[in-house]
Amino acid sequence: MPHIQRLIPDGFAPETSRPDAGKVLAGDPVFTTWSIEEREGLFCGIWECTPGKWRIAYTEWEYCRILSGVSVLTEDGETPMTLRAGDSFMIRPGFTGTWEVLETTRKDYVIRV
């Protein structure tokens, strides 16, 4: 196995899921995830979601870069943050709030649990 891996979905089988129905606030968001690396508490891949809004709560640390689309993350009690292609951000453990996909959004991610 090489030590360098491009973060592209080619050659990786996508998994499709949805947020728990009780967390959905609007729309019918559908997640497509290409898991490229999973080992020792580290997860890395590409995630895509169709429009919708749902509640989220993080116990892990996540770094993301938006590849396409538009989403709005709102931490409870804070100002909403609009994220577009090219934006990079991280979410710290303890984040609670909402994720709203306005235009189908694709991101690459690295999660540490």
Handedness of CA 106, 89, 72, 35 (dihedral sign): positive
- For residue 49, pLDDT beyond 80: yes
Closest CA to 91 of 70, 61, 113, 65: 61
Distance in angstroms (rounded) separating the CA atoms of residues 35 and 26:
26
Indicate the domain borders of the chain. Answer: 15-112
Give the CATH number of domain 15-112.
2.60.120.10
How much is the average pLDDT of 85-96?
98
pTM: 0.94
Confidence of residue 2 (pLDDT cuts 50, 70, 90): confident
How much is the average pLDDT of 75-101?
98
Q: Which residues contact 39 (CB under 8 A, 6 or more apart)?
A: none
- For residue 24, pLDDT beyond 90: yes
Mean pLDDT for all residues in the chain: 97
Confidence (pLDDT) at 1: 73
Confidence (pLDDT) at 73: 98
Handedness of CA 28, 17, 94, 64 (dihedral sign): negative
Q: Are 62 and 99 in contact (CB under 8 A)?
A: no
How much is the average pLDDT of 31-40?
97
